[in-house]
Structure 1
């Protein structure tokens, strides 16, 4: 701050006057003059010599909110039965309550000693590779999975599901599983859905625009922690 102007103020003031009469008035007058000078020379009084004249003031960012980011809703929780981390048994809702079993072919309650524990492994969207295991009885073969696969030898329009060596890159091992909202699921492959046909058991059939006639309930049987045979 340039204090030279204060000398000019004091030089012009009649100090020979009675200080008792003018003392307090003088101090108020000088104080007012200094404040007025500071108002006109704000940069000098405010100590802002390091600021660039005309620079725009920065807009503060609200605490806890990174600048330029937009909040997004939390991701929807994954169905644990479709996470690939749980083994399930599968029962057709419209059936007798028998569990699905995979031996040579997927069927209901065949009691043929096939595999009845399944792990839907997500591969993107609503598509899954469905692994099949035997019961946990310590037999190593039961811990080595087979997978569902569309039987390529079948003739349209009715296709069956067979057991095969797992290969998630094989398109005929990719199945859709869609939650129906009532605790049940629809299972399909491409444009076909898994349905029960009298006299032919479980088949993959074109459903068109109709709702699937068969839906399935998954029953949690514990963690998918098998150690397959190497």
Structure 2
């Protein structure tokens, strides 16, 4: 296993952080992509939340003609069932888990950590959360889907069964159709996880209404 932590963009509160949001970007993006949303969330400074936006490694992407870009895993086809490359998902999940462990080692307990992800990043978040031994404060999965959902029934741990999982999706998403996100929601619900689902009139992006809802949700799970 590579012991070197993923490079990250880190945004710290004005006081010593007591909570942490680890936010995973989508295909071809970087940790810089979502960093500007932190002030938009308007979180009270009393929450003392540190945001970490890791950069995925660069890898060739099959559906993009083998072009190298930042990605958490390869996409070999756009088929619903085989879009996410399981080996790549597992490898990235391990790297993100090292990042989570580093926060715990630095004094932020797991129950003050929110794991968030958009699109490909959400796939990693939804792969880690049901399987990890640490209990999170919450999980945020945006405009995303699940890798190999049929595996979950045999691999799910009970640790995060009561952890709030907020799933949100754009009704006009042409990159990850809304039915793929809803299917992941149904799998999590069917496996006994505390998951909510909401949609917005948007495409494969985030909107202000959604950010306001995320802010309210973060304040609730990190209060």
TM-score band w.r.t. shorter chain: under 0.3
TM normalised by structure 2 equals 0.23
Structure having the higher strand fraction is 1
Highest Rg: 1 or 2? Answer: 1
TM normalised by structure 1 equals 0.22
Structure having the higher helix fraction is 2
